Structure 1
Amino acid sequence: MAFTRLRADELVNVWAADRHTPMQIALLGVFDAGPFRRADGAVDTAGIRAALAARARRVPALGRRVVWTRLGEGRPIWVADPWFDPLRHVGAVTLPPGAAPGSWAAGRALRPLRRDRPLWRAEVVEGLPGGRFAVLIVVSHVLADGRTGVALAGALLDPAADTGLEEPAAAAVPPLPTHRELLRVRLHDGVAALRRARPDATGRRRGRQGLEQLRDLLSDLGAPVPRTSLPRRTGPGRRLAVARHPLADLQRAGHALHVTVNDLLLAAVAGGLRQLFAARGEQLPGLVVRASVPAATGLPGQQVMGMLVVDLPVGEPDPLRRLALICHATTAGKARLRAGVGSVVDIRLPAPVARLVVRWGRRFGSRSISLSVTDLAGPSVPLWLAGARLVEAVPIAPLVLQVPLAVAALSYAGELVVTVNADAAITDVDVLAGGIAQAFTDLTGLTGAAARCRPSS
């Protein structure tokens, strides 16, 4: 019997989780009620739940669960859930009166997912103004990274208003493995690994790469950074603020300035932080804020688990110069990832060592990181749910211990939506989001500038 065990890049998200910082990503989709609007003006939540459950049934990844193994059984394994009922994963809730949908959803996304089921849930949210409803989808980072999570959410929707729904063919699902079966497979795998083990050139190269990853991580996280007024602990509460900008404007600006949309996003975040700290009366000259930025590693079948550590030049007053410095940093960081080093979570370290490094990074290394920034590409055309149009897609990235800010950008139907998920102690998160929006406007106005994205010497 063969099992699919959790990869090390998936286990990283188990090791990094904490009580107030579960590694769960979320998406809040806002819909026009359309065919789900009843005659009395209310929303047909039962019909929406049924539509979501029917679509979840055709997505194999949503029917998988983790079997959390015991001592001697090896790493946890992926299996098809023999008792999978998608309707059990889809609930309904009413938005509390006076609650801001974004901040409410960011807090709601913290509720733990059940570990004895497939690691996701969806909730139909009624009580929104304008005759609309929302769907909050929460997925464990073990099941999906941001890019895969967007794809899973998209699989619950339709490409057109009149898309038909085909019932998937029923497939036999084997029972969960027994303790004896897991022990037998673990023993077999261990013997096979010993037979394969020899100190060849490949093994020595992987060992060197693992040591280089560890050295680079310690260098990235160990460098001192200026202190700011941002909190250094992440509590149980959340605030969410949103900035928006037309995607086409950013693409034109990126082409003119020879940078990526991700570079423009990072520069806008730096501009937003500059506005936030200025409003707080902090000293800006020379201020650098360190951000972790997920990046594709190019490894097939793995989560997007490369990590860049980028110094955002918040103290630089010239927006074009800020952009140039960021472009230089991301270009150098991506070159390191392509070389196969530079990210400890693109794992070439033995799993026990990687686990210790991740937990050290969560507890101590994250002190030098102030925020994370994620850029995700979504559908370029509108999506639908059984005839109800998805009006807006709002991404919600998770916070980690001692990192109180998470910025997530998602493009959808021609618009880039940028969310700032913050610890509840950051009461002026709207200032940061407003600064990001203003920085986008400033950056797209630079397209006629003679300078290009090359830092001056």
Structure 2
Amino acid sequence: MAKRLSPQDMLFLYGETPSSMMHVAALMPFTPPDDAPANYLRQMFEETRHLEVVEPWNLKLSHPRMLFRPDQSWVKDEKFDIDYHVRRSALASPGDERELGILVSRLHSQNIDFTRPPWELHFIEGLEGGRFAIYMKIHHSLVDGYTGNKILERSMSTDPTLRDQPLFFNVGPPSKKRSKTPAPPRNPVMSLVGGLLGGAVGGAQSVLNVGKALYNTQIRSDDEYGQITNSFQAPHSILNKHISRNRRFATQVYPFERLKSIGSKHDATVNDVALTIIGGGLRAFLDQLGELPEKPLVAFLPVNIRPKDDVGGGNAVGTILTTMGTDIEDPVDRLHTITASTKAAKGQLQNMSQTEVLAYTAGLMAPTAFQLASAMTGVRGPLPFTFNLCVSNVPGPRETLYLNGSRLEATYPVSIPMHGMALNITLESYADTLNFGFVGCRDALPHLQRLAVYTGDALDELDKLA
């Protein structure tokens, strides 16, 4: 049975180009159990070959060669080829973290094949110490980061002794809970009238709510509204260039409690602290290149708008904008500025429905069209841009996970650069750590790995002064 794509899912298809690719990924290094045989990885895969590949992993586009068709649907791939989707790679043993990053950069630079279900999984052998890694790539139109994380969590275990675990593509989605209490019978005429009146009243109220929030964001500058970053504040920078298909990937990992401790001293969240050290890293990185703008960089932050304990599926994401404080040298002052900015921006989303948040997001991000046109043509217009980069924070599992006895060491997100936004940084919490994945255009941003190093330096500096 065909399943229509949502409008948000369709946007990721419409954004797909040979150099601006809309797939996301995760890099997951593992430490195998002490009793792992030499053919451990091959055995793990062979044991899953006979199992059914379940939705959404067996779904492909109904019209893969016409991505812009408005009637795109997900349909079952009747000729699913597991050997195409699951592959083995190897580093020259013993492979280090730099070599692993280079391989992932190359894998992430390759386009997805839309004539098949849009995902790939690579087992990467040869890491030092007998370790291995899994690189999983998925097109964003199929699932978002939240959904992908939920599925990965369900395919692993907190029990290190458990074996014979199926891989994620063999694990079906959980069924959503349904109310056991039947709805009371209603007069069908009154139900129709009530539905129409309710829709009209609700629609009018939504327009007012969204309009008020956009007015507060874009126009007002009094009181706390002056802390809100609007759609016309991002400076022109090298982050907003036309990009190539080549990617560069770098990682960092920090103790979660270290960032939480800093935040608790300044009434800031862990995400505020993370944004602060990224801002410090960007300040040093761009200054070294001679490309640091006088005005602060602006990031757009995707916001998950699913209900608590939602099992996921498709895309459900809103957006806020925040300053990165790259014009502020003192890290504590930068933290206070970013905290005020994010609090004010989140305040606009309070008490909004999902539909209203999506409408607000559309209005907030509408000027991005000028930014994209500038990147595509190379013509710099007089207006500021809407944002310079994306910083996402995906909540991950808080317990250590195992896959057939192999301990998951970390989970590094690999996200999407695009024309007009050559850098994307995603954070993911895991166990007692916060994992950073930096991905950018190799040609627009040389030496991206230095940004990861400078972010660590910025954390050390903030920790000393906080």
Same fold (TM over 0.5): yes
Output the amino acid matched with 1:62.
Answer: W
Distance 1:52 1:311, change over 3 A: farther
What is residue 201 of structure 1 aligned with on the other side? 201
Decide whether the 8 Å contact of 1:382 with 1:390 is kept in 2.
Answer: yes
* 1:22 alignment counterpart: 21
Further displaced range: 262-271 or 75-84: 75-84
Unmatched runs of 5 consecutive residues or more in structure 2: 171-191, 220-228, 376-384
Asked if the contact 1:18/1:401 (under 8 Å) is kept, the reply is: no
| AA at the equivalent of 2:449 | D
What is residue 67 of structure 1 aligned with on the other side?
62
TM superposition shift of 1:272: 0.5
Deviations 1:207-247 (A, max 9, x none): 55676788899887751533444461211111122222111
- CA positional deviation for 1:269: 0.8
Shift of 1:322: 0.8
Distance 1:117 1:103, change over 3 A: same
**Partner of 1:388 in structure 2?**
406
Q: 1:331 to 1:304 in 2, by over 3 A?
A: farther
SS in 1 for 2:282: helix
Q: Percent identity?
A: 22
Mapped contact 2:18–2:111 kept (Cα < 8 A): no
Structure 1 segment 350-369 matched on structure 2, within 5 A = 360=369, 363-364=372-373, 367-369=385-387
Identify if the C-alpha distance between structure 1 residues 342 and 431 changes in structure 2 by more than 3 Å, giving closer, same or farther. Answer: farther
Contact kept in structure 2, 1:376 and 1:409, CA below 8 Å: yes
1:309 aligned partner, one-letter code: L
Look up the match of 1:266: 275
Q: State whether structure 2 residue 153 is matched by structure 1 residue 154.
A: yes
Give 1:203 deviation, angstroms. 3.4
Specify whether residues 298 and 374 from structure 1 end up closer, same or farther in structure 2 by C-alpha distance, changes over 3 A only: same
Q: Deviations over 1:277-312 (max 9, x none)?
A: 33234567x531011111122467663411112121
Aligned pairs for 1:40-439 within 5 A: 44-50=40-46, 57=52, 60-68=55-63, 75-84=71-80, 86-95=82-91, 100-165=99-164, 200-207=200-207, 223-230=232-239, 232-281=241-290, 286-298=294-306, 303-340=315-352, 346-347=358-359, 360=369, 363-364=372-373, 367-425=385-443, 426-439=445-458
> How far apart in 2 are the matches of 1:165 and 1:264?
40
CA distance, structure 1, for counterparts of residue 353 and residue 156 of structure 2: 38
Summarize deviations over 1:319-378 as a string: whole Å, max 9, x none: 1111111111111211222353999982489xxx99x95983672388542211111222
Scaled by the length of structure 1, the TM-score of the pair is 0.76
Change (3 A) 1:100 1:304: farther
Does the aligned pair in 2 maintain the 1:53–1:87 contact within 8 Å? Answer: no
What's the offset of the Cα at 1:27? 0.7
Which amino acid in 2 is paired with 1:46?
R
1:120-176 Cα shifts (integer Å, max 9, x gaps): 2101112322222211101111122222222233334333222254789x9xxxxxx
AA aligned opposite 1:110? S
What amino acid does structure 1 have at the position aligned with 2:235?
P
| In structure 2, C-alpha distance between the alignment counterparts of 1:252 and 1:50, rounded to whole Å | 45
Tell me by how many angstroms 1:405 deviates. 0.8
* 1:276 shift after superposition: 1.2
CA distance in structure 2 between the aligned counterparts of 1:9 and 1:312, rounded to whole angstroms? 27
Q: Per-residue CA shift, 1:182-210, capped at 9, x if unaligned? A: xxxxxxxxxxx9xx888822333455567
Give the total of aligned pairs.
413
Separation in structure 1 between the aligned mates of residue 370 and residue 357 of structure 2, nearest angstrom:
11
Alignment partner of 2:358: what SS? coil
Secondary structure of the equivalent of 1:61?
coil
- On the 8 A contact 1:397/1:407 being kept in 2, the answer is yes
Alignment deviations for residues 390-415 of structure 1 (CA, whole Å, 9 cap, x no partner): 22322111111121111111222212
Q: 1:36 to 1:114 in 2, by over 3 A?
A: farther
Q: Select between 2-11 and 236-245 the one with higher mean Cα deviation.
A: 2-11
| Partners of 2:214 and 2:301 in 1: CA distance | 18
Q: CA deviation at 1:28?
A: 1.1
Give, in angstroms, the shift of residue 446 of structure 1: 4.6
Pick closer, same or farther for the CA change 1:362–1:76 going to 2, 3 Å: farther
Indicate how the Cα distance of structure 1 residues 394 and 444 shifts in structure 2: closer, same or farther if over 3 A, else same. Answer: same
Contact 1:161–1:387, Cα closer than 8 Å, also in 2:
yes
**Structure 1 stretches lacking a partner, 5+ long:** 171-192, 448-457
Q: Give the whole-Å Cα distance in 2 for the aligned partners of 1:294 and 1:29.
A: 22
Structure 2 distance, partners of 1:395, 1:410, is: 7
Say which SS state the counterpart of residue 95 (structure 1) adopts: strand
- What SS is found at the alignment partner of 1:65? strand
- TM-aligned CA distance change 1:102 to 1:209, over 3 Å: farther
Aligned equivalents of 1:95, 1:216: Cα separation in 2:
53
Name the amino acid aligned to 2:279. A
Structure 1 residue 53, shift from structure 2 partner: 5.4
Distance 2:84 2:145 in 1: 24
